[in-house]
Amino acid sequence: QVQLVESGGGLVQAGGSLRLSCATSGIIFSSNVMGWYRQAPGAQRELVASITGGGVRNYVDSVKGRFTISIDNAKKTVYLQMNSLKPEDTAVYYCNTVQRSFRYDSWGQGTQVTVSS
């Protein structure tokens, strides 16, 4: 059974950094595209970073150069390193496979990131 547990969010000042973690089980990374998503107040959920089983990374333009997605296969954990944070990065962040993201019941609780001016 697939399980995804996000952690690492918090309150930071603009320009600061956070590292989010996604502990997983039941996922074969080589067969999936892992993604970090976020949902800001009043906005739709968006994919901000992804990594394929072959290690190819993609980012939404607004976070390029600031965020880095990575995987530790031994720990079965997906990370999102966030640097130079901006107030517009404030959102609840979720991890998921891109494949599962199309199912309404596939999401966990996420982790809150709040960036102050």
pLDDT, tens digit, 9 for 90 and up, residues 44-100: 999 999 999 999 999 999 999 999 999 999 999 999 999 999 999 999 999 999 999
Kindly tell me if the per-residue pLDDT of 18 is higher than 90.
Answer: yes
Q: Does residue 21 contact residue 110 with C-beta atoms inside 8 Å?
A: no
R_g of the chain computed on alpha carbons = 13
What pLDDT, on the 0 to 100 scale, is given for residue 105?
A: 87
Question: Distances in Å between the alpha carbon of 66 and those of 16, 90, 96?
Answer: 11, 14, 20
- Confidence band of 38 (pLDDT split at 50, 70, 90): very high
What pLDDT, on the 0 to 100 scale, is given for residue 60?
A: 98
Give SS3 for 73: coil
pLDDT, tens digit, 9 for 90 and up, residues 96-117: 999 999 998 889 999 999 999 9
Q: Does residue 50 contact residue 57 with C-beta atoms inside 8 Å?
A: yes
- Confidence band of 28 (pLDDT split at 50, 70, 90): very high
Separation between Cα atoms, residue 95 and residue 10, nearest integer Å: 16
Take residue 102 and report the two structure tokens written for it: 């199309």
